[in-house]
Amino acid sequence: MQFMNILCAYDGSKISKQALEKAAALAKSNPGAVLDVVHVASMPSLVVGEALIATPAVMSGEYYEAAEEIAEEARQRLLSLSQPADVHILNGNPGRMIIEHAERTNRDLIIIGSRGLNGVREWVLGSVSHYVVQHAKIPVLVIK
């Protein structure tokens, strides 16, 4: 099966760099394939009782700057891999945003790195890759 519309999730971690390399290689091996890269910046918020307290503007600016740096790193890595791609910054729950972006842009494959969590740690901390695998309607390639 050829994948022509590939989405790669990127967060700057070592494993996401490996996922990006795999995504670029797969796109390159399929003439005409399109690669889309997303970085999801999850702005923290505080819930007190029933009130949701948004991140102060100063902190939001810092999170956005960090997200821009990660997205630029992805762009530079893609240049070195000789693979054109669009790099997007999304805001929200990482798992949900990856899936929503894949559906909205008609991707046919999601490539994502695994954090290697298992058992109780995965249940307590949650895992973006686990969420994506469980909820995506398209194939997901998890890089270990």
What would the pLDDT profile of 76-106 be if each residue is shown by its tens digit?
999 988 888 999 999 989 999 999 999 999 9
Q: Cα–Cα distance between 18 and 43 in angstroms, integer?
A: 25
In whole angstroms, give the CA distance from residue 63 to residue 97.
Answer: 17
How many CB atoms sit inside 10 A of residue 22's CB? 16
Location of structure tokens 């029933």:
50
CA end-to-end span of the chain, whole Å? 22
Q: What is the mean pLDDT of residues 6-25?
A: 95
pLDDT beyond 60 at 67: yes
- Of residues 70 and 60, more confidently modeled: 70
Where does the pLDDT of residue 127 fall: very low under 50, low under 70, confident under 90, or very high at 90 and above? confident
Percent of the chain with pLDDT over 90: 63
The residue behind tokens 């729950």 is 93
Query: Domain range spanning residue 77?
Result: 5-143
> pTM (2 decimals)?
0.84
User: What Cα–Cα distance (Å) separates residue 142 from each residue in 18, 22, 91?
Assistant: 10, 10, 22
Domain count, the chain: 1
CATH code for the domain in which residue 88 is found: 3.40.50.620
